[in-house]
Structure 1
Amino acid sequence: MFNILENILLESGLGGLFELKRKDDYRSKGKNFIAYRVKSNTYKIRGFELWGDENKYFFRIYHSDKINYDLREKLLEIEGVIKENNYSIDYRMGNLINIAIQIKDILSNTDIIDICKKDKNYSRISRFEGLSLPDIDISEGDVLGQTFTWREIISIWENDLEENNIKKELSKNGIYIQRSKDGTSRYIGSACGNGGIIGRWMKHLTSNGDARDLNLFVLENGYSEILFAVIEFYEGDDIIAKENILKEILGTKNYGPYNSFQLNNN
């Protein structure tokens, strides 16, 4: 089934407009569909899905409820729409590649690109007011194995909707890593108080405290060079001991002057 979806995205050129985040197979969970999730983008499109079986496939665009109105109206004009709601548009016809080509052509239109670039989400927190924030799929609850940018963290933190499952998960206590994009520079930390891991990340973004070497790395490279990730959710009283063990195993502790790689100085 993945080969069919990937062929649709490849042959149409639609897949080339997006960066793959991950592939999800829901058939093992009793749902007859697969998904090609994409990273945050100008269009606020979150993924493409293929539902059904070989006798009656349909193709879904999964998008943010804040998708640009004009873009969504253009997508609804494509022949083959069978269903739509605030988060998705479903298409069914004999040749799904043709539908994907029409979607690609709409997304490649310079006028659509321009209006989507102007249609941004902005931070409401006074410290970050006016900062443009990426679209995040807050319905996701599985954060292990994912990395987050500093803008994505702020976007998740500011969203107080009850269905913000990703914030609920990240509000748990545990051990985390902040690393450079190439993985060579690493900082290990833990969260065991109010706000959990995401609360701790927000403190890093506003005040790094005594994290000397991490501070220096940020001054030298900027936070855009750093990715955040959860290593393990943990509620035990020995969380600091576990954190220190990981620092030793991963070699993140620096016993000398700043070297830009080992970012734990304690």
Structure 2
Amino acid sequence: MAAEHPDEPRLLDHLIELRARLLRAVAGLGLALLALLPFGNTLYAWLSAPLLAKLPAGGQLIAVEVASPFFAPLKLAFFTALVISMPWLLYQAWAFVAPGLYQREKRLALPLLASAVALFYAGCAFAFYLVLPAVFGFLARVAPEGVAIMTDINAYLDFVLVIFLAFGASFELPVAMVIAALLGWVTPAQLREARGYAVVGIFVLAAIITPPDVISQLMLAIPMCLLYEVGILAAVWLGRPAADGSAS
């Protein structure tokens, strides 16, 4: 009779814990979605306000596909539920991996997770309140004479969600820099030396992921340059305790 491998019960416990965390994460997302579904049309009206404010009087969005009036608010409700429940989802991931981390890793992981969520929210808010009005104002001004801007509701939603994701992900730059520094991939000195290359790369990235107007490109590139400097300062500050501890 073969002896039972000593790691098998441990692996089974981890799989049970993983299943429990996944179920809790899905349940939290599902509850948020159920709570937001009745307000799908209200959310879409709020999301379309930056475009409608720049259109001539009587301008409106249109639904090209038959089922668009149903699926567009549903998609928006799901995206909103995902964004709102992000802290809960990250907490479930944290609760699963935390027992295997060292004490210093735990102390660093929680501020990094909180900063990542806050920066993503800040990026989305920046895009909605500042970038989208500027972009739609530019597009309304450059429209040819006699062309009425009537965007499909699905196309508009996809465009705005891409902008949200682009700005939310771009605002994660300091967190990515800190993680790279903590893992030993780069040092704060190397980040300072690469500042010129980083600025060029940031402007190229902004030109790729934003609409073809200078205003929106600058509105992404300038905050990212500032966040790059914040990332350097954070990498120095968080790396100092490790250096002090190793010297002692």
Query: Which TM-score band applies after superposition, normalised by the shorter structure?
Result: under 0.3
Q: Which structure has greater helix proportion? A: 2
Q: Highest relative contact order (Cα 8 Å, sep 6+), 1 or 2?
A: 2
Q: TM-score, normalised by structure 1?
A: 0.26
Q: Which has the larger radius of gyration?
A: 2
Q: Compare the two structures and name the one with the higher strand fraction.
A: 1
